[in-house]
Amino acid sequence: MHRRLLGLFCLLVVLSVPARSDGLLRPTLDSIRDAKTVAVEGVPLLSGRLLADFYAERGDVLIWGEPGRIAGLLDLVERSPSDGFRPDDFHAVSLRRLAAPGVLRSLTGNARIAADLVLSDALARYVHHRRYGKLDPVAVDSKWHDRSPASSEVLLADMNRALDGEDLQTSLLDRFPRPFWYEDLKSALRRYAAQTALAGLPPLPGGSKLARGTRDPRVAMLRERLVRLDGVPASTPSDADLFDHALHEAVVSFQGRSGLTADGIVGPSTLAALNGYGDETKTEQIQINLERMRWLYQDLPADYIFVDVAAFRAHLVRGERFAWSTRVIVGTPETQTPMFRDTMEHLVFNPTWTVPVSIQKKMGRVSGDYRLVDRQTGKQVGGGDARDHRRYRLVQAPGPKNALGRVKFMFPNRHAVYLHDTPGKAAFGRQSRALSNGCIRVQDPLHLAEAILDGSNWDRSGIERVVERGQTRYVDLTETLPVLLYYLTAFADEQGKVGFRQDIYGRDEALRAALASPVLRTRIAFPEPPAPEPRPHPEQSEQAPGAEPPDSSDPSTSVRLTRRDSAETPDGEETSANNGAEPGVSVVDRPAASPTDRL
């Protein structure tokens, strides 16, 4: 017997499971399959459809009959805090009760099916949370987060793998992503959660800046605080008040992992970061950033771009390490850089810039670097009003003054956000660089282009020749490159030493509250059922038995369209084909309806 309660935008199904276990398992699963939100005897289930499919794949029989299997699941749950979870995220109270000797065997009928479903849901939640994160980032904030739903096929494969192996832990050990930066922050959580070293330490008092060579009573306090934070004993120098070379290196290390200017000088920003470590909420800050990491770390190859937004840095990852890094400028608190993942497909040297409407309508007279393009005809016009954004697109020609600089790195996405050069280099000297309209401005973009194109026929001299010619060139990557835009307010180095960054976008508090709350449902993508084959129209003749299908290469039966057949750029600018002077240049016409360029 079951009751359905209609709530706002969701249906809550509370089941009192029917009497006979084996024969009524499938009817029970069918009854919860399409419910929005499901609970069994007060325990919420993540997805009724996922569980229905899971039991169908395993023959619609009860699964949890072996005490060792339940004990293995409980062991995983009890150790889940090492990844920043709470055991209650996986029905820990129910698991402890069901793992007790003889309890499961004593259950029959309604209670037995309910127990099996709760155990399977605990496993489903464990593989889901480890692989995709506990929370759906889009549910947390759909404006600044973007990610596809979790895959039911991947989750079911993980669940079946767990049950088909000798034990759950061994079976799942290699199933989940473990990028080095996630493991580093896990190590930091382990050290920080166990750390009581700062208890009783007074905060470092303010005053003049401390730097190498300074002699000040606060230097001894600074040294003690860093020793306790890093967990490494250090010998006390003969002059404890002297800021020596070893202390300088320790400060530089702390600043680097904290997203600060790593100059070894203890000013107001570094002082505030050091004093913030006495705050108990820092453990929670590590936990919420482990959660953020899980949102995007699926199936990473050896090479990818890692943009660390809150630290104003971008890294090229090759083979489990940051092979190259540079400073970047990111969005302001009003025009934030969103957090998402996409794939870099091509680079554009000497790009044009299509001025966003929000900027165009404020512009008056423009220089000769700009041209007006009629939105209806696509043709360049002269003498129009640049502010008339409804009629004209305003496009800045390539060149040293172009707002996108000399190169942009394209990974098409709905936010119209990408990495690019900028003619304004002075801002890279600032410590806080939240200055753009959402895109990521790169301090050394030609070096990044060279690093990305490494292994092809490109080198720095070839890149510089293309740039000097001033013509727009599109260069397709031989292999696409994932780009991860992460907003992380806690990050650790390879020693597990953690640095906390300023929450420049004010996102931490909402995530902290969401992570502490139970998850009743989440987005999961299920395979679409195969479409039925269309019946032939009575007036149409079917293909004769044994007849060969049409030849796709025959122009009479198929047409293949390609943008490479055009020699005109979106803005009506003529381009020449590759003349062989530059290695591997690919000149590609891009669609005119691309989003306006943010900065």
Q: Identify whether 573 is part of a domain.
A: no
Residue 113, in any domain of the structure: yes
Q: What is the per-residue pLDDT for 244?
A: 92
Contact 67, 104 (CB under 8 A): yes
Q: State residue 64 phi and psi, 5-degree precision.
A: -95, 75
Q: What pLDDT does residue 578 have?
A: 37
C-alpha to C-alpha distance for 194 and 197, rounded to whole angstroms: 9
Q: Would the CA dihedral through 26, 28, 29, 34 be positive or negative?
A: positive
Cα distances from 54 to residues 33, 91, 116, 160, 504, in angstroms, run 11, 19, 12, 8, 42
DSSP code of residue 217: H
CA dihedral 468, 470, 475, 480 (to 10 degrees): 80
Q: What domain range is 142 assigned to?
A: 2-176
The pairing of strands 353-354 and 392-396 is antiparallel
**How many domains are contained in the chain?**
1
CA distance 15 to 452: 55
Residue 320 lies in a domain: no
What pLDDT is attached to residue 598?
67
Does 309 fall in a domain? no
Residue 168: the pLDDT is: 86
The answer to whether the beta carbons of residues 335 and 441 sit under 8 Å apart is no
At residue 255, the pLDDT reads: 87
Question: What is the reported pLDDT for 542?
Answer: 38
User: Is 436 domain-assigned?
Assistant: no
Residue 82 in any domain: the answer is yes
Instruction: Evaluate whether 509 touches 372 at the Cβ level (below 8 Å).
Output: no
- 308 within domain boundaries: no
Res 591: pLDDT = 41
For 33-73, the DSSP string reads TT-SEEEETTEEES-HHHHHHHHHHTTS------HHHHHHH
pLDDT at 199: 62
> Mean pLDDT in each 10-residue stretch from start to end of the chain (599 residues)?
37 39 83 92 95 96 92 94 95 96 92 96 98 97 96 97 88 88 93 64 89 92 82 71 91 83 92 74 92 96 97 96 96 97 97 90 83 91 86 92 96 94 95 95 97 88 94 94 97 90 96 95 91 60 38 32 29 33 37 52
Q: Please, which residues bridge with residue 327 across strands? A: 313
- What pLDDT shows up at residue 81? 93
Q: Which residues pair with 316 in a beta bridge?
A: 305, 324
Asked whether the beta carbons of 441 and 448 are under 8 A apart, the reply is: no
Examine residue 205 and state whether it is found in any structural domain, yes or no: no
